Structure 1
Amino acid sequence: MLIYFCVSAAILLTLLAALEDVRRFTISNWIPGALIALWLVYAPFSGLGWQGAGLNLLTGLGVLALMMALWMPGWLGGGDAKLIAALALWFGWPSVLTFLLLAMICGGLLAAILLLLRRFAPALPMSPARLAASPLAQGAPVPYGVAIAGGMLWTLPHSPLMAAFGS
């Protein structure tokens, strides 16, 4: 029962991060923090054992280092970097590779869709102020939290996390 709650809450928190990124172009620090705290509750009951939990922890830290290297030159937002690292903790090695690949594919699709929609955005029945504050505005940042959530949802059915959730 606790495993179901933790995994469900992790999914909801990730979707909340995506929604917040669309609305405000930022992901609050409490969301990755809550994901990490939930993983600490989940891990002892998941069957990972000490070695598996340690490997997941190292995976999360390694991904955090990689994401911070992408954040420093401005290629990725700080909230996105922390969200990806927190989810890497959940997926562990080697499932994190699938998650990262699928999140990148979702990011490319999201960027392509936004570029297309931005061409037609001025014709939408939307006030100029509302359009300027949306992801459809020319030059607006890409809310990559959506791609991260898409990668998480796409990876979930094929991950050991789902096996633990289904058992």
Structure 2
Amino acid sequence: MTGEYFKLALLCALGLLLIIASVTDLRSRIISNRLNLGIAALAPLWWIASGLPVWPGMALQVGVALVVFALFATLFAMGCMGGGDVKLLGALALWFPWAAMLSMLMVMALIGGVVTIITVAHHRMTRTLGQPQIPYGIAISVAALWLIGERYLNHFA
């Protein structure tokens, strides 16, 4: 039973860090490296608490994170995403199995579209010069929070 409380505490910590990422991205369009490092550093504790074996479990999580990071780093290089967003996605990929990560990315894309529309509309209404900076960390964080919540809400279905 103590292990379940520890897992819940880790998920709460992740949730808090995701909320902080959303707020700081909305305010300053920056997701700090420390925040991303904190999310990544908690993942091995999650693996151990979840009973994930070193091989292939933990190795697969690292592999998924590397693939996600490489994919979104390519988008960063093309000017489509911010560096903090890419690091946040890589850190989150350490937490979730690949199938759950794919679900999260789909939800992120849908929420990201809404965030983009709202940001562009606000940019035009305020007649701000230059290109709008999309706070995509909001979409990433909300999608990850949805994924965390879904695991618990589906127990009632």
TM-score range, shorter chain: 0.7 to 0.9
Contact 2:123/2:132 (<8 A) preserved = no
Contact 1:118/1:138 (<8 A) preserved = no
Please tell me the root mean square deviation across aligned C-alpha atoms, in Å.
2.0
5 Å-filtered alignment, 1:85-96, equals 85-96=90-101
1:12 to 2, 16, 28: 16
Partners of 1:139 and 1:63 lie apart in 2 by 26
Q: Structure 2 length normalisation: TM-score?
A: 0.85
2:141 to 139, 149, 152: 149
Partners of 2:134 and 2:116 lie apart in 1 by 7
Aligned: 1:43 with 2:30: no
State the one-letter code of the partner of 1:89.
L
SS in 2 for 1:90: coil
- Percent identical residues: 32
Partners of 1:46 and 1:75 lie apart in 2 by 35
How many residues end up aligned between the 2 structures?
A: 148
1:27, distance to aligned residue in structure 2 (A) = 0.8
Partners of 2:113 and 2:57 lie apart in 1 by 32
1:99, distance to aligned residue in structure 2 (A) = 0.7
Instruction: Provide structure 2 residue ranges, at least 5 long, that are not aligned to the other structure.
Output: none
Instruction: Provide structure 1 residue ranges, at least 5 long, that are not aligned to the other structure.
Output: 123-131
Contact 1:57/1:92 (<8 A) preserved = no
Q: Structure 1 length normalisation: TM-score?
A: 0.80
Partners of 2:16 and 2:140 lie apart in 1 by 13
Could you say which residue in structure 1 is the equivalent of 2:89?
84
Partners of 1:84 and 1:15 lie apart in 2 by 14
Could you say which residue in structure 1 is the equivalent of 2:132?
140
5 Å-filtered alignment, 1:1-167, equals 1-50=5-54, 51-121=56-126, 139-159=131-151
